[in-house]
Chain A
Amino acid sequence: AQTVTQSQPEMSVQEAETVTLSCTYDTSENNYYLFWYKQPPSRQMILVIRQEAYKQQNATENRFSVNFQKAAKSFSLKISDSQLGDTAMYFCAFMKRHTPLVFGKGTRLSVIA
């Protein structure tokens, strides 16, 4: 079974600084998808960014980017120019094609003014 590990239960960052959240996963598959979801205090699950394993180029979405290392099975999220609104739980998730998501346990990020 696939597993997703987020080794940092909590992190904090100063406003306007950069922070990187770690995620590793375990799979024997070659084709799969990786996601980062954000969960603010409102509890809504919001997709931040996604990465297809067959793509070598790292995905970016505005201030959010990933460092996808397929051989190392690592998928970290970098948030640049951190804003107070980035304060949230962040979940890393893995999915083989046509199967449900498998989530990590999450990292609680606090952005400090």
Chain B
Amino acid sequence: NAGVTQTPKFRVLKTGQSMTLLCAQDMNHEYMYWYRQDPGMGLRLIHYSVGEGTTAKGEVPDGYNVSRLKKQNFLLGLESAAPSQTSVYFCASRNGGQETQYFGPGTRLLVL
């Protein structure tokens, strides 16, 4: 049971490039979330999903897109990366019947 995993762990992008961050969970959780963490800002919600095929916007969704084609995977896409998207990205998931979220190890993204 790997829990929540994130791919890649670290990535450097140039401004304007695109990339996809992958989050996978093997706990059969319904809910999945993408957060970004910036110094002094805590964790802020980007997008989330309450089930396969559903997505919703969070607090800071601009510049990102997401997809939940399979229950176990939640993808976060950057179509045209900007330096302001330099951050640490965390994925989390939880069971619909419980309130505790389980986090992945994070992806550090640097946009030059």
Contacts and interface: CB of A to CB of B under 8 A. Distances in A.
Contacts of B88: 43
B74 interface: no
Contacts of A47: 100-102
Interface SS of B by simple majority:
strand
The main secondary structure of chain A at its interface with chain B is loop
A44 B40 CA distance: 17
Interface residues of B, number: 21
Contacts, number: 45
Interface stretch (B21-29, B42-50, B61-69, B77-85): B42-50
Contact of A100 (B33, B40, B90, B103): B33
Interface residues of A, number: 22
Nearest to A52: B99
Interface stretch (A12-20, A61-69, A74-82, A102-110): A102-110
Contacts of A102: 45
Interface string B27-42: 0000001010000111
Nearest to A44: B105
A49 B33 CA distance: 20
Contacts of A103: 35, 42-44
B99 A95 contact: yes
Given A91-B43, A101-B43, A104-B42, 20 more contacts: A9-B40, A35-B100, A43-B105, A44-B103, A45-B43, A45-B90, A45-B103, A47-B102, A50-B100, A91-B42, A97-B99, A98-B50, A100-B45, A100-B48, A100-B58, A103-B35, A103-B42, A103-B44, A105-B40, A105-B42
8 contacts: A43-B106, A45-B90, A52-B99, A91-B43, A101-B43, A101-B92, A101-B101, A102-B45
